[in-house]
């Protein structure tokens, strides 16, 4: 194992861009594959998780290549053009890949099996089996609720209304992707709004997905049209630099061209509420997604209470947020965040264990944590 020596405290100064958004990258590749015609993607995050999705689609006959002038080109095969991969599809460590692909595979005329690495093989999949079965899919998991996911072809899926018990963009997206193959309209309602990249991107591929009140509605059987997608920088990667510049004295950081979709910006909203000095400027839209540039300077933070309604839009940023909370004046309490326990790791346990090693006063609760901040700014 490598060891690193970090001499703190330092200063973060300069202007940076972060790599492409992971959630948007998965969706761009999937929709490009099942659309008709060519899709061009700029800024795709070519990380192991996204490459698991790319590999699965290639195994089902989709051509996905680097374009000679940069970017990725996908020759879409249409909704019904995927081919039987003839072997299990390995989603590696990626819950997004497994759950979104389950949605697509539920509508195919061939059987499929989705497997993953040791960590993914311990993550809950019944949450995706239930909505897809409600649409008529023949889908099952182990009786533990864990992968592999087995899907068998059915004659047809049929549109239904589904109320999600857990706030999960992956589950919502799996349902909406399967809904593309279902007869009639399928509608889904979530307990709290989660990231809406699938809905936005479906519109970009020509699908007239709509929202009435809390219900998101998709009509099946309509082909998507290949599109040009520009993937913005990933707010989840930017969050590490944002927190760094907020807590390190004399920092001055500009982060350019990253996604500021309000279903993802929980960490920025919370830091602002704690007194952070962050400005979002040059707000614009690219491929249906809001993007902007961020200006961050240090500030003295104050502890706050964060409840369940802020959890979905902050879900991947809580680990680094804990560091900010540890540097704030007073107590920060997070509740309603039990979903953090079923990620790649139990994020509550991991954060509490590691911060305790740095003498941070942090306590685990069943659905979150309590940090007693000690400002050093």
Q: Hey, which residues are catalytic here? A: 316
Q: Name which position in 23, 186, 257, 265 contacts ligand S3P (CB under 6 A).
A: 23
Q: Which of 241, 316, 327, 337 binds ligand S3P (CB under 6 A)?
A: 316
Establish if 237 lies at the interface with ligand S3P (CB under 6 A).
no
The secondary structure element, H or E, covering residue 333 is strand 330-334
Q: Which residues contact 240 (CB under 8 A, 6 or more apart)?
A: 320
243 SS3 class: helix
Instruction: Choose between 23 and 237: whose C-beta lies nearer to ligand S3P.
Output: 23
Q: Please, what is the minimum distance in Å from the beta carbon of residue 130 to ligand S3P?
A: 14
Tokens 């703190």 -> residue:
8
Residue number, 238 or 301, with CB nearest to ligand S3P: 238
Tell me: does residue 291 bind ligand S3P (CB under 6 A).
Answer: no
Report the site for ligand S3P in 86-145 (rule: CB under 6 A): 96
Stretch binding ligand S3P (CB under 6 A), from 167-175, 206-214, 280-288, 349-357: 167-175
Of residues 139, 294, 315, 355, which one binds ligand S3P by CB under 6 A? 315
State the nearest-atom distance from the C-beta of 96 to ligand S3P, in Å.
4
Smallest gap from Cβ 169 to ligand S3P, in A, equals 3
Measured from the Cβ of residue 229, the count of other Cβ atoms closer than 10 Å reads 28
* DSSP bridge partners of 363: 370
Report helix, strand or coil for 377: coil
Q: In sequence order, which ranges of the chain are alpha helices (DSSP H)?
A: 22-34, 48-59, 95-105, 126-134, 169-179, 197-204, 235-247, 266-273, 318-326, 347-357
Q: Which CB, 12 or 31, lies closer to ligand S3P?
A: 31
Per-residue binding letters, 169-208, with ligand S3P (x by CB under 6 A) = xx--x---------------------x-------------
In angstroms, the CA 310 to CA 254 distance is 25
What six digits make up the tokens of 174?
Answer: 């799996």
Place of tokens 């909406």: 176
Q: For the CB of residue 339, give the shortest distance to ligand S3P in the complex, in Å.
A: 6
Closest CA to 376 of 5, 9, 11: 9
Residue nearest to ligand S3P (CB): 23
Residues forming contacts to ligand S3P in the complex (CB under 6 A) are 23, 96, 168-170, 173, 195, 315-316, 339
């Amino acid at each position: 194992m490598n060891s690193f020596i970090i001499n703190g405290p330092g200063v973060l100064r300069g202007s940076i861009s972060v790599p492409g958004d992971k959630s948007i990258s998965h969706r761009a590749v999937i929709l490009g594959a099942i659309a008709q015609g060519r899709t061009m993607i700029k800024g795709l995050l070519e990380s192991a998780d996204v490459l698991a999705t790319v590999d699965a689609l290639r195994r089902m006959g989709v051509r996905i290549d680097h374009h000679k002038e940069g970017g990725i080109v996908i020759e879409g095969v249409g909704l019904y053009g995927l081919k039987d991969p003839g072997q299990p599809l390995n989603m590696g460590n990626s819950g997004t890949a497994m759950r979104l692909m389950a949605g697509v595979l539920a509508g195919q005329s061939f059987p499929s099996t989705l497997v993953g690495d040791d960590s993914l093989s311990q993550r809950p999949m019944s949450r995706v089996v239930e909505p897809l079965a409600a649409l008529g899919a023949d889908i099952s998991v182990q009786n533990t609720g864990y992968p592999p996911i087995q899907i068998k072809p059915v004659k047809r899926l049929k549109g239904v209304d589904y109320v999600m018990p857990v706030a999960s963009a992956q589950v919502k997206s799996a349902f909406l992707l399967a809904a593309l193959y279902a007869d009639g309209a399928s509608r889904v309602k979530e307990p709290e709004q989660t990231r809406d990249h699938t809905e936005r991107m479906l519109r970009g591929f020509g699908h007239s997905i709509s929202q009435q009140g809390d219900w998101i509605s998709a009509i099946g059987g309509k082909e998507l049209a290949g599109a040009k997608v520009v993937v913005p920088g990933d707010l989840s990667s930017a969050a590490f630099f944002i927190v760094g510049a907020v807590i390190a004295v004399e920092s001055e950081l500009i982060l350019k061209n990253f996604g500021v979709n309000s279903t993802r910006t929980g960490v920025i909203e919370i830091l602002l509420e704690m007194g952070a000095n962050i400005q979002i400027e040059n707000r614009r839209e690219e491929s249906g997604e809001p993007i902007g540039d961020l200006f961050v300077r240090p500030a003295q933070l104050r502890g706050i209470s964060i409840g369940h309604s802020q959890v979905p839009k902050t879900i991947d940023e809580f680990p680094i947020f804990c560091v900010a909370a540890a540097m704030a004046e007073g107590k920060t309490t997070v509740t309603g965040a039990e979903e953090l326990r079923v990620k790649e790791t139990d994020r509550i346990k991991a954060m509490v264990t590691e911060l305790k090693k740095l003498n941070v006063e942090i306590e685990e609760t069943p659905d979150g944590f309590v940090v007693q901040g000690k400002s050093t700014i």
